[in-house]
Amino acid sequence: MFEGKVALVTGAASGIGRETAELYSQNGARVIVSDIDEEGGQQTTDVIQRHGGEAAFVMADVSRPSQCEALIEETLKRFGRLDFACNNAGVTGEQNPTAEYGLESWQRVVEINLSGVFYCMKYEIPAMQRSGGGSIVNMASILGLVAFAGAPAYVASKHGVVGLTASAAVEYGKENIRINSVGPGFIRTPMISDLEEDPEMHAQLVSMHPIGRLGEPQEVAELVMWLSSDKASFVTGAYYPVDGGYLAR
């Protein structure tokens, strides 16, 4: 499906990012795996290569514009083009109500989750223009549409991702660049491993999803694949939840 194409995935050292990178490869794309976690990112790369795919790891902190620029430059240097990008890198931050939320935590979450998406798109879009078009999928969250007490920075950053995605989609649609966002519910990844270790909290999280369980990383990655593919050729500026019915409650 993606033969001859090049995909970039940030936050690809584990969880949704790793699964997305692997699926891009399984569908024929060459993949740039990026993360600040060098060990995890290299593990993702190694898995792809062991299965016959072509991939390279490039370390980048998406909260730093210069590193995002260097990431795209390295992508073009290694593979010559950029067709798909999944801007997935993100952090949760501390759990505190707004008036008690730490300033450093606020800045860190917003810089990674929101500014990082902007920085990446700032350099991804020109690369895609040179390739004749492409598809960008930004990882938002169910909390890009609704609130969650004790997570003001995360909620604000993910709402911002949804709006930023729509704005960029309107700007670049005529240049054959489609830009969409995905809103996962609670997915079984390292990001929520601490919550899952508490049986009471785990049960509470499950109860929020009418489908009766938490999601799996591959279920999010499959949506990213569809949005990247020609099957979604008339889809841009959209927000797609993959949340087991969380938002329908």
CATH of residue 228: 3.40.50.720
Based on the structure, what is the number of domains in the chain?
1
Give the pTM.
0.96
Query: Chain-wide mean pLDDT for the chain?
Result: 96
Is residue 203 included in any domain, yes or no?
no
Q: Which residue has the tokens 């593990």?
A: 43
Instruction: Name the catalytic one among 24, 101, 123, 154.
Output: 154
For 159-194, how does the pLDDT look when each residue is reduced to its tens digit (9 = 90+)?
A: 999 999 999 999 999 999 999 999 999 998 876 766
Is residue 175 included in any domain, yes or no?
yes
**Is residue 239 annotated as part of the catalytic site, yes or no?**
no
Residue environment code for 192-212, b if the CB has 16+ CB neighbours within 10 A, otherwise e: beeebeeeeeeeebeeebeee
Query: In 10 A of CB 244, how many CB atoms?
Result: 22
Local mean pLDDT, 10-residue blocks, the chain (249 residues): 98 98 98 98 98 98 98 98 98 96 98 98 98 98 97 98 98 98 92 71 90 96 98 98 97
Is residue 193 included in any domain, yes or no?
no
- What pLDDT is recorded for position 195? 63
Is residue 195 included in any domain, yes or no?
no
Is residue 204 included in any domain, yes or no?
no
Is residue 207 included in any domain, yes or no?
no
For 152-161, how does the pLDDT look when each residue is reduced to its tens digit (9 = 90+)?
A: 999 999 999 9
Is residue 197 included in any domain, yes or no?
no
**Which run of H or E residues covers position 103?**
helix 103-110
- Whole domain around residue 96: which residue ranges? 6-186+217-248
